[in-house]
Structure 1
Amino acid sequence: MSKIVIVGTSGVGKTSIIEKFVHDNFASTTSTIGVAFYNYTRNQRRFQLWDTAGQEQYRAFVQFYYRQATVVLLVFDVTDQKTFSDLDFWFDEIRKLNQCPVILVANKGDLLGSRAVTQEDAWKKALQLETELVNTSAANGFGINELFEKAQGLCKADVKEV
């Protein structure tokens, strides 16, 4: 079973992205404490989706999950420059433990008037980190299916059939 781990600074919308994908639901959420996970099946393949806490006090705890990831979704909030600045920290933490594929996720794209990170800067960061970039909005669902299709495509062929 492939493990897709979603990481990023607290408040970027990690849980909302998962809720939109798994349950087609968007609601304001509280911060994740520790780690939550979801099992799902797509195209006869089984996946685990791990939602990690972004708060600093949980960072050492969630590192365990990077090590076991098949793919990591590294999320930032396009309306919050600090979450974009934190990407290098998160990427370095992932790379210390795992060389798996990483997808950079620019979330909250529906908030165009509040955008603090330009599309150009997001593309430059993706090039620098040698990752793909997917723009999403958990609020309206934009890019969510594309994101998980890309993640599933990057999962290794050793996934068991159901």
Structure 2
Amino acid sequence: MNAKDNKRLKFEKKGIPLVIIGLPQAGKSTFVQRIKTGEFSSTKTTMGMQVENAIIGDARFDIFDLGGHETYRKTIWQTYTKLAYGLVFILDSADPNIFDIAKEEFWKSIELKGNHDEFLILILCNKSDLDESVDLETIINRFEFYKLAEKENASFQFFKTSMKTGENFDATLNWLTSNTARIAQRRTIDPQMFMLADLEGFPILEIDKMDLDEDPSLMAGFMSAIESFSKQLFGRTGILQFMQSGDYKYIVKTDDKFIYSLIIKSNECQEEARRIIEIVSEQVYDLENFAVLEGIITQLLNIDPSLYVLRKGFT
């Protein structure tokens, strides 16, 4: 076993995904650093994305601090906002000249979340310590934040904050922890089957709770989904497809090495399944020693191996 694979054996289950968005210089990275250290510190402009892990209260978070420049708003914002349990939108409340652009980008991100799975929106009107800071009521009206009440799947809150003085910092964390715990519980899924296959469809690993071999209808539905997805995904990489058949949802992703398939119950959270299959593909892609694959997959899926049938297609 090489060092890379040994390290993967110690991989811990991911925390609650929290995405930080906002235009440049709004205070996103300063907010993240204050979470980690409890103190104010100056930070450099984020280029691309920074990922931090933090314990807030009793919850472990994976915090994705996304760069605010236009290039990143058109790329990584669109990917990561879809996968997050919560969005933290940070606004420089002392610079009304950027309000129109900030408003446009905020609502684009909200629309990406859709109208299905519940999520959180925390809006921080930052730099309240500055004399030029615009009052909260004016910002709410200017950004039309009151329209968030129309989104039945969103829980939201506003705060005037100062990362420099710490104004309302503890209040934001209290709101995050109390609400994310509730949503995380609702978004828990019970994977029925996971399959890793090569690009020709030959199974490498199958972890099965569904007794596909004993139920012809389940097997037929599964094979139909795989066949349909294979035709759609042929020659394409980084694509996810979803299909519902009867009591189950089928999620399939392909990259230039593998096909990843996950089955969940139809009433379970599709976005959580998407998030998990993205994490699995990220961890498996560069794996060199398949002997550790079973342990990695069962840990990432957060399942009890004794409840599943394991089939290996490799030697």
TM-score between the two structures when normalised by the length of structure 2: 0.47
Aligned partner of residue 41 in structure 1, secondary structure:
strand
CA distance in 1, matches of 2:132, 2:110: 31
Aligned partner of residue 120 in structure 1, secondary structure:
helix
1:18–1:44 distance in 2 versus 1, CA, 3 Å = same
Q: Equivalent residue for 2:97? A: 82
Offset of residue 157 of structure 1:
3.4
Match of residue 55, structure 1, among 69, 85, 102 = 69
Q: Equivalent residue for 2:42? A: 28
Q: Is the 8 A contact 1:73 1:103 kept in 2?
A: yes
When the two structures are aligned, how many residues end up with a matched partner? 158
1:84–1:152 distance in 2 versus 1, CA, 3 Å = farther
Q: Equivalent residue for 2:176? A: 151
Q: Equivalent residue for 2:230? A: none
1:33–1:52 distance in 2 versus 1, CA, 3 Å = same
1:78–1:119 distance in 2 versus 1, CA, 3 Å = same
Gaps of 5+ in 1: none
Gaps of 5+ in 2: 1-14, 150-155, 189-315
Offset of residue 101 of structure 1:
2.1
CA distance in 1, matches of 2:62, 2:174: 14
User: Identity of aligned pairs, percent?
Assistant: 23
Which amino acid is the alignment partner of residue 92 of structure 1? W
1:83–1:148 distance in 2 versus 1, CA, 3 Å = farther
Which amino acid is the alignment partner of residue 96 of structure 1? E
Provide the alpha-carbon RMSD of the alignment. Answer: 2.0
Which amino acid is the alignment partner of residue 42 of structure 1? I
Q: Is the 8 A contact 2:16 2:184 kept in 1?
A: no
1:85–1:47 distance in 2 versus 1, CA, 3 Å = same
- Output one character per residue of 1:77-104: Cα deviation in whole Å (capped at 9) or x when no partner: 1110133323332222222321422121
1:101 and 2:120 correspond? yes
1:119 and 2:146 correspond? no
Q: Equivalent residue for 1:132? A: 157
CA distance in 2, matches of 1:20, 1:145: 10
- Output one character per residue of 1:5-43: Cα deviation in whole Å (capped at 9) or x when no partner: 110111111111111121123222221011111112233
Aligned partner of residue 11 in structure 1, secondary structure:
coil
CA distance in 1, matches of 2:34, 2:103: 26
CA distance in 2, matches of 1:92, 1:3: 20
Q: Is the 8 A contact 2:18 2:87 kept in 1?
A: yes
Q: Is the 8 A contact 1:71 1:154 kept in 2?
A: no
Offset of residue 134 of structure 1:
1.0
Q: Is the 8 A contact 2:57 2:177 kept in 1?
A: no
Q: Is the 8 A contact 1:35 1:62 kept in 2?
A: no
Greater Cα offset, 124-133 or 138-147: 124-133
TM-score between the two structures when normalised by the length of structure 1: 0.86
Which amino acid is the alignment partner of residue 144 of structure 1? F
Q: Is the 8 A contact 2:77 2:109 kept in 1?
A: no
CA distance in 2, matches of 1:46, 1:141: 22
Greater Cα offset, 87-96 or 56-65: 87-96
Offset of residue 139 of structure 1:
0.4
Higher relative contact order (CA 8 A, sep 6+): 1
